[in-house]
Chain A
Amino acid sequence: MKKILIILTAIFVTSCSESFLDITPSSSTAVDNFYQTETQFTEAVNGAYASLRTIYSLGYVYEEMRSDNTHFTRNNNERMTSNTDREDVANFLVSSTNSIISDAWASCYSIIAGANTILDHIDKANLSDNFKKDIIGKAKFVRAFAYFELVRNFGRVPLQLHAVTSSADAFPAQAETNQVYDTIISDVKDAIDKLPTVSFPQDGSATKGAAKMLYAYVLLTKPEKDYVEAQKQLEDITKMKYDLLENYADVFNTSMKNSVEHIFSIQYMQGNYGMQSDWLYSFMPRSWDGNVLTGTTDANTSSTGGWNVPTDAMIASYEPGDKRLPVSVNYAVGTIDPEDGNMEIDGVLQPGDPSISESPNALPFVNKYHHTHNTAFNTDDNWPVYRYADALLLLAECLVDQQKNDEALPYVNQVRARAGLDPLTSVDADAVANERKHELAFENHRWYDLVRTGKALEVMTNYAAYIKSVDTGLTSRTYNITAQKLLFPIPYRELQINKKLTQNKGAAADE
């Protein structure tokens, strides 16, 4: 029958009848024709790294707002779930349907799927070993990075190490936490082997230094910590050509991206490429017209602003003269409309400015991502993931953990010196943690630092009392902090679909 049809088609329609029914998309790419050339693999890797941005669009919610660094200005007018879900994460009221955690979960696995597909295809590709090595290194780094994000937030998670091509492969059970860490370590070690050492100027790609940084974090976070190996990895980094920038503000300066201080950053670019960042518009106060602050037109943040707000206690915890405070936090001053909570912003002031107390209202905001840009909601800021100051302080932490406090001291003081602070004469774990808190404030480190160092319960319980005294809108159900709540619940949809999964006991507020 098929032959007759083909002959008829040849007679009546077209001479090349075989192809009449073979149509492939002309304006998009099908996988069958992809994963062959160097260009294609490079594009695939770029795609995988571009997907990292999905973690950082709301990462501040579960990495800063969940910690003692920041809270939020409640938007009493707009109680939609996209807002209340953020508050719930900050307030330890996470339900298994919370969209923030579902998105975090799905984003990480989407990144993993991208890496898996690359790794599944690269062996078969007829390309040079050198090229393959680079691609594998980058893919394994990003896969390890995403699994580390998952394991820290969800604990036991499914391990998906090959691209899913049919539904038969799509229903794995959870792996034990140790297994997940073993996989991460295996990937990150391979990435360290295969990735190039940084050379400047660098373009933002993953490097050996980034992989070592990730490895060190993994070693210090996993259930059986390996301080010796972590120390070695971090010391290797100090032997690369990284350095502290002279001026703390320059670390975040959008004209000095990927400098000698940056080990790994998520890359953003303003313009019409769909690659812009926009955290400023979430972090600044709600305002009908925030142009004074943003320097653009149309900066209406009445429904986007008010998140990740540094608490007064956090601001007060900076040592006097810490140059990092005015870089990290600024105040928007103006008048808040009591009825809708929006601020008419008159100006932006640095902490300590006496005019702050004179203006009718003043609201602090995270200033690290506040730079000149052309268009509202279209900023140029990168997200700093690993930087040299972080490496130094992590090394200090690692040394203190091994009771080598004296060895740790110079690293801490190196960082303090740039901040314009007097050197310490001795350090302990608290001193290192305190330095990390201020050096790396609002860079999504605080929560993981607290959990890694075993301080989360203690610090957050104290914080709960504080924040409830400041924010009277917090109900009695909030901040019911238990060890189980240091993990997120597995997303509800995932549990419904995959019956092999089990919930993290006690993690969900609505259990």
Chain B
Amino acid sequence: MKSEHSLLQRRSLENIFPYSAVRGLALILILLFVSSFSVYAQKRVTGNVRADDGQTLPGVSIVEKGATHNAAITDADGNYSIQVSGNDAVLSFTFIGYSTKEVPVGKASQINVIMKEESKVLNEVVVVSYGTQKKKDLTGSITTVKADNLSDMPVGQIGQKIQGEMPGVQINQSTGAPGQGMGFRIRGAFSILSSNSPLFVLDGLPISTSLNNINPDEVESFTVLKDAAATSLYGSRAANGVILITTKKAKSGKLQADLQVNYGVQTVKGMNEMNVMNAHEFAQYKKEFYEDSGQQVPDMYKNPDQYGEGTNWYKLLTRDAPTLDINLMLSGGTDKSMSTVILGYYKQNGVVLNSDFTRYSVRANNEFKLNNKVRIGVNIAPALQIYNNQNTDGYRQVLSAALIADPCQSPYEKDGSLKVSLDSPGMFGQPNWLRYIKGQLNNSRALSVIGNAFLNIDLFDGLTYKLQIGTDVGTSRNRSWIPSDVSGGLMSPPPNKATGSYSTAIYYNWNIENLLAYNKTFGKHTVGATVGYSAQKANSEWSNINGTDYPDDDISWLNAAATITGGSSSEEWTMASMLGRIDYNYKDRYLFQANIRYDGCSRFAPKHKYATFPSFSVGWIASEESFMKPLTKVMNYFKIRGSWGMTGNNSFGNYAYLSQLYKNNYALGGSLAQGKSLSNIGNNELTWEKNKQLNIGLDFGFFNDRIFITYDYYSRITDGLLYQTNIPWSSGFGEILGNVGRFDNWGHEINIESRNFVRDFKWKTSLNLTFARNKIKRLSTNNEPIGGEEVYSDWNRLQVGKPAGVFYGYVFDGVYMNQKEFDSQPKHASSQVGTARMKDIKPDGVINLDDRTIIGDPNPDMLFGITNQFSWKNFDLSIFLTGQVGGDVFLGSSDNEYNLDGVFNVNKEVKYRWRSVDNPGKGVVPSTATGTTEIYRLKNSRWVYDASHLVLKNITIGYNIPIKKNNYISKARVYVSGQQLFVWKSYPGLNPEINNTSENELSWQGLGVDMTTYPIPRIFTLGFKLTF
């Protein structure tokens, strides 16, 4: 503890001129003295090195300070022998995992050393809002992940790398579409209308760009700010938590190049597929379908035995595909001018045909010291991304539709060419999905440049000024082309008109910050204060051009289209803010912090533009108290933290309070007459969603931090939830935006890091557990539930007293197996013997819309992640598991696979349907009688499944090749890695993490709903890393 104390002092005092000057002078004198005498004397020192628990330490490196050619390593028994320059020599003992120890030689010739295991955990410096802090001084709830540990994972997105690593952070991969689909939700943050996504701050710049635009290998660390004390300096944007991303710093020293290459193969082979009928089964089913309805069986299905497996449409659209990831990092410089440059290339061919993702990225981080007082940094990171993906995701889009295409149909004509459309008797016309996916073009390119520069001036006596300017600019364009032979979809089979589009977007976002920070220690008191001003502006513009009426399918560009339509538009928002923070620390054990941010934002009506967001936190390092000292051997560290604060949410669109008009033209006298109509009802009272959050945390370090446990409890009230309250259509509108509703959430987070073995064989385990609960307390004036009313989509519901986004629908209650059951049971208007029965929830003997209820809850009971890292000599192994306990998933595409009108291929289970009283099946699939089947495919409890799962996310086995003297390579490492290796689940769908929400969001609408998305492939990778 002593050493930590002095370290802390050094940090606090480093700017105090007299002290550092004296120290510097002394150091120079010592060095001069040492070096001038070192050439004259020579002597040998021997000794033994042990750990503080008495164990011998082999492999400890010993060097003489200032004369590094005098070096040695301890042998298997911990003994060493070293030549030193003389009595004035100072020996430095270093060993990974232990504090470096320096011992002056003096007259001794034998020096035995006991090394103290390092408490790495607590001295870690953590990036926090507008500054840094040592982990041990934290009073807020903050989790950090270092990116080093993640570099071997063969995935292209940041979210994929940090999924499951941090307690309280839910990251779901809704789709495997290359370069897409990661949704973040911190502590179950929830908003009905606004975004649930946390604020991402990259090197101090709140970014508007997607995280996908950032090469994960540029990142040094991720810090997740969770409680209000940690986040409130981001004020009105902090309600959903904040993720601070710090990129690799400019480095001084010898020029170094690190090259890392991953090559992987992705596959979906052997992964679970939807259990639909093969050709033989389907032909049999169709034959029976016609027979049961007394119709003529179409020729195609008269003889089911002519078919075998038939066409597996889903499989036909997938393939094995490679990924390649290359990163080159160059770093080095002088202590005046430092630089790190990272070049990245990432290419992922999709496991679904005609899809891929490519990213070219560069980051250059530079820092210049003009003098002792002034530092300037310039970072710039351009990235170009290219995506191809053909409407794979969503209800009855290509993957979903392929599951229900007729397996008796071949994709090919007799002459071997691809069919244009599939036209089976009694089935919806549809495209030939193979031709469809191959024949389209949907290509996006996005160029983004994130840049920031800072000026740092040490003014005097602990006072520092920092000016930071950041910009995030980008442009993107999407080009699509759907030729006539693939134009259409399910129910509108090709050929149809060819269509093309070309859309562009450009955005810029700048941020300027002025910060004054003060830090000083007076005896036992350490005081810190920060005040700042920040302004941010974001502007985006977009345009789109659509073309149709092409003469033929030869030219895909819009200048071939006879009819071209388009438009362009723009939006802007601004913020201006002041912020302040006070830290106070007494005797290194009593910690206090207060934060305040005052935000002004353009998104609100004039009288609601400004708001204040305060927070307070306290910490007590109890283990520093003398009465706790006896426990130190076991529990070396114990801290209690508490915080309370307010944050806000303003991410709900830029002009939402305004009532606006849209273009609604009329024709008068045969020509255009400009017209406008109201598009919404405005609301001048609109204000921020406000969050009040309480956090209580405990940190424990056991056995000198060999086991470190962090526990947090939080309770949060979100008030003034913004949403579109449903109002009667008789107003002319469906909804009005207002601050109504209250949502409470609370939970527990546990993080355990344990270094089980620390010697030759090292084993480290990290475990994190997240328990998040939520409940809706109030909704609008009448507490009317929101959502769930529609009988097909509209799966999720908000209802007072229930968690957000519960599923709403009928409760399936079997099949009326015979006349007796039919006569004695409640009925729907369409019911007859053999049809599906839903529970009569409102017990009136009639089954109708009033009999729907809550049938599932997509919110997980617990999320967890477990990482085990082993190393022995040059080998290392890491195994990473993530998972979820509890929570439901709604197989929303079931109304396709259980559609009993004969229009789709169906689940194999349909074989056991009710056909007659004598052949009633298993009582879960009703009859196919015309006019009776609809109720069976309305949202009901049968499509709700337990989402609990365990994913073997990653296994990496690495070997560090020992490099003997080599002029070129100083380090080399090879590894193999497997990603998404196994998913243990009871859910019959592909992906239990699935959500049918908008991209990169985990909003309540569509939460836990599976409408079929791009499969998440298994990836096997071979990689190496060389340091030159």
Interface residues of A (CB under 8 A from B): 1-2, 4-6, 8-9, 12-13, 17, 20-32, 34, 40, 42-51, 76-81, 84, 96-97, 102, 105-106, 109-110, 112-114, 116-117, 157-158, 160, 163-167, 169-172, 201, 203-205, 257-258, 267-269, 272-275, 297-298, 300, 302-303, 339-340, 375-376, 473, 475, 477, 491-494, 496-499, 501, 509-511
CB pairs A–B below 8 angstroms (10 shown): A23-B572, A28-B660, A31-B661, A106-B734, A167-B780, A267-B667, A272-B565, A491-B729, A494-B728, A509-B829
Min CB distance A160 to B, Å, is 5
Min CB distance A489 to B, Å, is 12
Q: How far is the CA of A297 from the CA of B728 in the complex (A)?
A: 42
Partner of B535, one of A20, A170, A303, A493: A20
Q: How far is the CA of A272 from the CA of B731 in the complex (A)?
A: 31
Decide yes or no whether B571 CB sits under 8 A from chain A. yes
Is there an interface contact between B660 and A375, defined as CB atoms closer than 8 Å? Answer: no
Is there an interface contact between B298 and A339, defined as CB atoms closer than 8 Å? Answer: yes
Decide yes or no whether B733 CB sits under 8 A from chain A. yes
Is there an interface contact between B791 and A164, defined as CB atoms closer than 8 Å? Answer: no
Is there an interface contact between A50 and B677, defined as CB atoms closer than 8 Å? Answer: yes
Is there an interface contact between B497 and A303, defined as CB atoms closer than 8 Å? Answer: no
Q: How far is the CA of A167 from the CA of B737 in the complex (A)?
A: 9
Q: How far is the CA of A192 from the CA of B792 in the complex (A)?
A: 46
Q: How far is the CA of A26 from the CA of B655 in the complex (A)?
A: 11
Give chain A residues whose Cβ lies under 8 Å from the Cβ of B568.
Answer: 27
Asked if A340 meets B423 with Cβ closer than 8 Å, knowing A31-B678, A46-B664, the reply is yes
Range, interface on chain B: 35 or more
Asked if A46 meets B669 with Cβ closer than 8 Å, knowing A23-B573, A157-B730, the reply is no
Q: How far is the CA of A105 from the CA of B602 in the complex (A)?
A: 37
Chain A residue at minimal CB-CB distance from B423: A340
Give chain B residues whose Cβ lies under 8 Å from the Cβ of A170.
Answer: 727-728, 730-731, 736
Min CB distance B228 to A, Å, is 20
Decide yes or no whether B306 CB sits under 8 A from chain A. no
Q: How far is the CA of A29 from the CA of B662 in the complex (A)?
A: 7
Asked if A47 meets B664 with Cβ closer than 8 Å, knowing A79-B901, A298-B496, the reply is yes
Partner of B669, one of A24, A201, A494: A201
Partner of A375, one of B426, B549, B659, B675: B549
Decide yes or no whether B592 CB sits under 8 A from chain A. no
Asked if A12 meets B662 with Cβ closer than 8 Å, knowing A267-B668, A497-B728, the reply is no
Asked if A12 meets B514 with Cβ closer than 8 Å, knowing A27-B570, A50-B666, A167-B781, the reply is yes
Pairs A-B, 3 closest by C-beta atoms: A113-B732, A46-B675, A203-B669
Min CB distance A198 to B, Å, is 13
Give chain A residues whose Cβ lies under 8 Å from the Cβ of B677.
Answer: 44, 47-48, 50-51, 110, 114
Stretch at the interface among B31-39, B361-369, B487-495, B640-648: B487-495
Q: How far is the CA of A417 from the CA of B773 in the complex (A)?
A: 78
Give chain B residues whose Cβ lies under 8 Å from the Cβ of A84.
Answer: 934
Is there an interface contact between B574 and A21, defined as CB atoms closer than 8 Å? Answer: yes
Is there an interface contact between B610 and A2, defined as CB atoms closer than 8 Å? Answer: yes
Most A CB within 10 A of own CB, among B493, B512, B572, B728:
B728
Min CB distance A318 to B, Å, is 32
Most A CB within 10 A of own CB, among B571, B672, B729:
B729
Asked if A46 meets B665 with Cβ closer than 8 Å, knowing A113-B733, A510-B848, the reply is yes
Give chain A residues whose Cβ lies under 8 Å from the Cβ of B576.
Answer: 5-6, 8-9, 13, 17, 20-21
Decide yes or no whether B429 CB sits under 8 A from chain A. yes
Partner of B730, one of A76, A203, A272, A494: A494
Q: How far is the CA of A494 from the CA of B722 in the complex (A)?
A: 22
Is there an interface contact between B533 and A12, defined as CB atoms closer than 8 Å? Answer: yes
Chain B residue at minimal CB-CB distance from A112: B732
Q: How far is the CA of A112 from the CA of B675 in the complex (A)?
A: 16
Give chain A residues whose Cβ lies under 8 Å from the Cβ of B564.
Answer: 272
Most B CB within 10 A of own CB, among A23, A80, A157:
A23
Is there an interface contact between B563 and A25, defined as CB atoms closer than 8 Å? Answer: no
Q: Is the interface of A mostly helix, strand, loop or mixed?
A: loop
Is there an interface contact between A269 and B667, defined as CB atoms closer than 8 Å? Answer: yes
Task: Write out, one digit per residue, whether chain B residues 574-599 have a CB within 8 A of any chain A CB (1) or not (0).
Answer: 11111000000000000000000010
Most A CB within 10 A of own CB, among B492, B673, B681, B930:
B673
Is there an interface contact between B784 and A25, defined as CB atoms closer than 8 Å? Answer: no
Q: How far is the CA of A13 from the CA of B901 in the complex (A)?
A: 65
Q: How far is the CA of A115 from the CA of B296 in the complex (A)?
A: 56
Asked if A77 meets B730 with Cβ closer than 8 Å, knowing A4-B578, A114-B678, A167-B781, the reply is no
Is there an interface contact between B600 and A497, defined as CB atoms closer than 8 Å? Answer: no
Q: How far is the CA of A509 from the CA of B1015 in the complex (A)?
A: 43
Give chain A residues whose Cβ lies under 8 Å from the Cβ of B732.
Answer: 109-110, 112-114, 116, 160, 163-164
Is there an interface contact between A498 and B730, defined as CB atoms closer than 8 Å? Answer: yes
Decide yes or no whether B75 CB sits under 8 A from chain A. no
Min CB distance A203 to B, Å, is 3
Chain B residue at minimal CB-CB distance from A269: B667
Q: How far is the CA of A475 from the CA of B492 in the complex (A)?
A: 28
Decide yes or no whether B966 CB sits under 8 A from chain A. no
Q: How far is the CA of A23 from the CA of B573 in the complex (A)?
A: 7
Q: How far is the CA of A273 from the CA of B675 in the complex (A)?
A: 12
Q: How far is the CA of A244 from the CA of B544 in the complex (A)?
A: 47
Is there an interface contact between A46 and B738, defined as CB atoms closer than 8 Å? Answer: no
Is there an interface contact between A8 and B678, defined as CB atoms closer than 8 Å? Answer: no
Is there an interface contact between A78 and B428, defined as CB atoms closer than 8 Å? Answer: yes
Is there an interface contact between B666 and A5, defined as CB atoms closer than 8 Å? Answer: no
Decide yes or no whether B747 CB sits under 8 A from chain A. no
Most A CB within 10 A of own CB, among B493, B512, B600, B676:
B676
Q: How far is the CA of A2 from the CA of B606 in the complex (A)?
A: 12
Is there an interface contact between B729 and A494, defined as CB atoms closer than 8 Å? Answer: yes
Is there an interface contact between B727 and A164, defined as CB atoms closer than 8 Å? Answer: yes
Is there an interface contact between A113 and B731, defined as CB atoms closer than 8 Å? Answer: yes
Chain B residue at minimal CB-CB distance from A298: B497
Give chain A residues whose Cβ lies under 8 Å from the Cβ of B488.
Answer: 300
Give chain B residues whose Cβ lies under 8 Å from the Cβ of A1.
Answer: 578, 598, 610, 612
Partner of B678, one of A117, A171, A492, A498: A117
Decide yes or no whether B658 CB sits under 8 A from chain A. yes
Asked if A376 meets B600 with Cβ closer than 8 Å, knowing A77-B427, A113-B732, the reply is no
Decide yes or no whether B782 CB sits under 8 A from chain A. yes
Is there an interface contact between B578 and A275, defined as CB atoms closer than 8 Å? Answer: no
Q: How far is the CA of A29 from the CA of B569 in the complex (A)?
A: 12
Is there an interface contact between B784 and A496, defined as CB atoms closer than 8 Å? Answer: yes
Asked if A113 meets B610 with Cβ closer than 8 Å, knowing A31-B659, A275-B667, A509-B829, the reply is no
Partner of A167, one of B429, B598, B612, B725: B725
Decide yes or no whether B683 CB sits under 8 A from chain A. yes
Most B CB within 10 A of own CB, among A172, A497, A509:
A497
Excluding A28-B655, A110-B732, 17 further A-B contacts by CB distance (< 8 Å) are A6-B576, A9-B576, A27-B570, A31-B659, A40-B676, A44-B675, A46-B668, A46-B675, A106-B734, A163-B732, A164-B681, A203-B669, A257-B670, A272-B565, A273-B672, A339-B298, A493-B726
Partner of A31, one of B574, B658, B664, B728: B658
Asked if A497 meets B784 with Cβ closer than 8 Å, knowing A8-B533, A300-B495, A492-B849, the reply is yes
Is there an interface contact between A28 and B662, defined as CB atoms closer than 8 Å? Answer: yes
Min CB distance B1010 to A, Å, is 20
Min CB distance A303 to B, Å, is 5
Q: How far is the CA of A104 from the CA of B738 in the complex (A)?
A: 27
Q: How far is the CA of A169 from the CA of B427 in the complex (A)?
A: 48
Is there an interface contact between A23 and B672, defined as CB atoms closer than 8 Å? Answer: no
Decide yes or no whether B131 CB sits under 8 A from chain A. no
Is there an interface contact between B492 and A303, defined as CB atoms closer than 8 Å? Answer: yes
Is there an interface contact between B572 and A44, defined as CB atoms closer than 8 Å? Answer: no
Min CB distance B776 to A, Å, is 18
Most A CB within 10 A of own CB, among B425, B612, B672, B675:
B675
Is there an interface contact between A166 and B578, defined as CB atoms closer than 8 Å? Answer: no
Partner of A340, one of B425, B661, B729: B425
Give chain A residues whose Cβ lies under 8 Å from the Cβ of B497.
Answer: 297-298, 376
Is there an interface contact between B849 and A97, defined as CB atoms closer than 8 Å? Answer: yes
Is there an interface contact between B609 and A21, defined as CB atoms closer than 8 Å? Answer: yes
Decide yes or no whether B682 CB sits under 8 A from chain A. yes
